[in-house]
Amino acid sequence: MKKASKSQKTKKALVTGSAGLIGSESVRFLIDKGFVVVGVDNNMRQYFFGKDASTDWNRKSLEKKFKEKYIHKNIDIRDQKKVEKLFKEHAFDIIVHTAAQPSHDWAAKEPITDFTINAVGTLIILENFRKYSPKATFIFTSTNKVYGDSPNKLPLIELATRYEIDPSHPYAEHGIDESMSIDNSKHSIFGASKVAADILVQEYGKYFGLNTGVFRGGCLTGPNHSGTKLHGFLSYLVKCIATGKKYTIFGYKGNQVRDNIHSYDLVNMFWHYHQNPRQGEVYNVGGSRKSNVSVKEAVEKIEKILNRKANYKYSESNRSGDHIWYISDISKFKKHYPKWDFKYDLNKILLELCERELESGSKSK
């Protein structure tokens, strides 16, 4: 009589910042792919930006929906003992590290808090990954702020509703690629701490031979974003226009341009990378030429969708080191992973954000 075959090993994922925008999208995506997900999130977003930015609602939603498939841990990633205990208890196949202090404005208030979370916290996760789950794929959400304000030195042209780059420049067709230098620019304190983490993730890949991927994003968005004044451009703008709250446009006449990528599309990038990971690889990720908008254009588009006029004021003072024009060239990622493509363009993103805001507003009445 044949012995019963052993049950297939359960695939496990670790997602830090699991109640945030990209973290929660990663949880849902990976559970759908058959993983049990351990989520780490201690709702520091509320500490950074106040009660309105709390991600506790998202954590409760994940626990309610996925039950035994989602294991939540209220751990500070700077706590070496608790992080090590977690890694000793679970052998992970994939690690998605999204936990961070995400605002360059906020970082200047508490530089040590910012650096210990973004740089030291990342080092603690990396070292435990190396010791206890070295065969896993490690994915890090970095930022385009690692380039500092170097994009502002590009030959930019101011048009009626936006800035654009000189059409003769190499970046004109696809946007800014990974060849842009991270040196000799103003990064903001936040940008500096993310540079440190970014380099560490690369080094653990190249020096130790581990599968680590760095994804340098700009404006990441989606309906699960707890947008706030200092972080979450499109989400917060939609919230302000929908509720009549005053929005402040900082500098550049509102013509500054951002590309926006939906959280699903970014997490799908992570998934494609996981299928064939590389060691210490870096990718610029964003909406590219497919999904970008100026602040002024975004206001007009959202007003039309919601059929409401925006209540905003203009400040001549731009945020220190703020990008005037940033569009990501995603050609490198597309070359490495040609089967990946966008699901969301800008119009689809804005419609979803507006629908979610109207839905949440009606529920709160």
> Binning pLDDT at 50, 70 and 90, where does residue 108 land?
very high
Determine the Cα angle at 79 with ends 128 and 56, to 5°.
105
| 229 has pLDDT over 80 | no
* pLDDT of res. 6: 45
* pLDDT of res. 363: 54
Cα-only R_g, the chain: 20
Q: Is 6 part of any domain?
A: no
In sequence order, what are the beta bridge partners of 293?
258
Weakest-pLDDT range from 88-92, 180-184, 189-193, 229-233: 229-233
* pLDDT of res. 223: 86
Give the integer Cα–Cα distance in Å for 40 and 246. Answer: 34
Q: Is 5 part of any domain?
A: no
Residue-wise pLDDT for 343-361, tens only, equals 999 999 999 999 999 987 6
Residue-wise pLDDT for 203-224, tens only, equals 999 999 999 999 999 899 998 8
Q: Is 4 part of any domain?
A: no
Q: Beta-carbon neighbour count of residue 343 at 10 Å?
A: 9
Q: Is 82 part of any domain?
A: yes
Give the integer Cα–Cα distance in Å for 132 and 86. Answer: 10
| 304 has pLDDT over 90 | yes
* pLDDT of res. 322: 86
| 4 has pLDDT over 70 | no
Q: Is 7 part of any domain?
A: no
* pLDDT of res. 362: 47
Q: Is 1 part of any domain?
A: no
* pLDDT of res. 1: 39
> Kind of pairing, strands 292-294 and 325-326?
unpaired
Q: Is 3 part of any domain?
A: no
Q: How many domains does the chain have?
A: 1
Mean pLDDT for the stretch of residues 14-31: 97
| 2 has pLDDT over 60 | no
Q: What would the DSSP string read from start to end of 42-106? A: --HHHHHH-GGG--HHHHHHHHHHHGGGEEEE---TT-HHHHHHHHHH---SEEEE------HHH
Residue-wise pLDDT for 134-169, tens only, equals 999 999 999 999 999 999 999 999 999 999 999 999
Determine the Cα angle at 165 with ends 161 and 167, to 5°.
115
| 318 has pLDDT over 90 | no
* pLDDT of res. 186: 93
Mean pLDDT for the stretch of residues 251-277: 97
Determine the Cα angle at 236 with ends 235 and 241, to 5°.
105
**Range of 122's domain?**
12-364
Q: Is 318 part of any domain?
A: yes
Q: Which residues of 176-214 are buried (b: 16+ CB within 10 A; e: fewer)?
A: bebebebeebebbbbbbbbbbbbbbbbebbeeeebbbbb
144, 324 contact by CB (below 8 A): no
Q: What is the CATH number of the domain that holds 343?
A: 3.40.50.720
User: How much is the mean pLDDT over the chain?
Assistant: 93
Mean pLDDT for the stretch of residues 120-127: 98
315, 248 contact by CB (below 8 A): yes
Residue 223 gets the label, from left (phi > 0), alpha (psi -120 to 50) or beta, of alpha
